[in-house]
Amino acid sequence: MRSKLKLRLRSRNKITQTNQQMKIDRSKLQDDLILKMYRKELVTTYEESNQSSLDVNN
C-alpha cells in the first residue's frame, strides 16, 4: 500500500512540474515574427514524428 502511494505521489509531482513548464507568454503571441517561427518549428516537429518508422506491431 505504501509503495502505491509513493508511486502516486511521484507521478503527481512529475505532472505538476511539466504543467509549470508549459506556461505561454501572451506577449510573445502578439509578435508575428515569433509566431511564424514557432509555427514553423511545430510543423517540422510534426513532420519528423510522422516520418519516423515507429510501428505498433513490432
Overall average pLDDT of the 40-58 stretch: 71
**Three-class SS state of 24:** coil
Could you tell me the three cell numbers for 35? 509566431
- Does residue 4 or residue 55 have the better pLDDT? 4
| Segments forming the whole domain that contains residue 40 | 25-50
Do the beta carbons of residue 29 and residue 35 sit within 8 Å? Answer: yes
Residue-wise pLDDT tens digits, 14-33: 655 555 555 677 777 788 88
Is residue 20 in a domain?
no
Is residue 34 in a domain?
yes
Is residue 1 in a domain?
no
pTM check: above 0.75: no
- Distance (Å, whole) CA 42 – CA 3: 39
Is residue 42 in a domain?
yes
- Distance (Å, whole) CA 26 – CA 37: 15
